[in-house]
Homo-oligomer: A and B are copies of this chain.
Amino acid sequence: MPARLKLILAYDGTAFAGWQSQSHHRTVQDRLEQALRQISGEKSSVHGAGRTDAGVHALGQCAHVDVPDRRLSANQWQRALNANLPATIRILSANYVSPSFHARYSAKAKIYRYRIWNAPVMPPLEVNRSWHILKKLEPSKMENTIRLFCGEHDFRAFAANRGKAEENTVRTIHSGRIIGRGRLVVVEWDGNGFLYKMVRLMVGALVNVALGKLTAAAVECALDSGEPAGSRVVAPAEGLYLVRVRY
């Protein structure tokens, strides 16, 4: 009898063309499905909590998959998967769950972190892991702007495709915090869902405000009207980390 496995996994986004399966197979989902097939001999489809773009890292992505039977314990699955995956993807935990659990639909909230290196010179070990901004960001301006995003809003102006016609673009951000200071600025977002490239567009706006290129009032207006505030900046993928999915 098939059984559902819940997987928590981490990956270095630099090594993959994003989460979502593609014909060239260089994605996290493809590598996971390959490893599952190597172990069970059968094809299984992996369902992730969210698609991360190429270059985006995960510290705690969540996925579920139906495996053919329970011959292997969840711990054995974890070990077998890690043995069949590259070191740049690691299964942090595996558990059998009820078939009613769905990695995407059961998710209550997601936590993302965005890492900015704010100094004239970027350390080599930060390459591919943070966004390098040379000009000093004003922390108070970031603090004042991040508050505007919190709560329930129509985030249409902060979606890459500006929301498909039929899509509900209302989301709730439970909290947005600047948790790093000085040269390392870390922005953490906790929300019930995020539209395509929404975190990167919000971070782009925060940075534009902190550099004096955009006003907080313009951000507020974009949130109210659904119309983007001037030219939008998408913060680069490599600074973004999916930290955790809450169920």
Q: Tell me, rounded to whole Å, the shortest Cβ–Cβ distance linking A114 to chain B.
A: 15
Contact in complex: B57, A125 (CB < 8 Å): yes
Number of copies: 2
Q: Given A12-B127, A127-B12, A122–B87 Cβ distance below 8 Å?
A: yes
> How many Å lie between the Cα of A15 and that of B124 in the bound state?
10
Docked complex: A105-127 residues within 8 A CB-CB of B: 121-125, 127
Give the A interface residue count (CB, 8 A): 20
A40 interface residue (CB < 8 Å to B): no
Partner of A124, one of B12, B121, B124: B12
Q: Which of A17-25, A88-96, A164-172 contacts B (4 or more CB under 8 A)?
A: A88-96
| Chain B positions within 8 Å of A121 at CB level | 82, 90-92
Docked complex: A122-164 residues within 8 A CB-CB of B: 122-125, 127, 129
A10 interface residue (CB < 8 Å to B): yes
Docked complex: A65-99 residues within 8 A CB-CB of B: 82, 87-92
17 A-B residue pairs with Cβ-Cβ distance under 8 Å, sorted by A, are A10-B123, A10-B124, A11-B124, A12-B124, A12-B125, A12-B127, A57-B124, A57-B125, A87-B122, A87-B124, A88-B124, A88-B127, A89-B124, A90-B121, A90-B123, A90-B124, A91-B121
Enumerate the 8 nearest inter-chain pairs by beta-carbon distance, A residue then B residue, closest first.
A12-B124, A88-B124, A87-B127, A11-B124, A10-B124, A90-B121, A90-B124, A10-B123
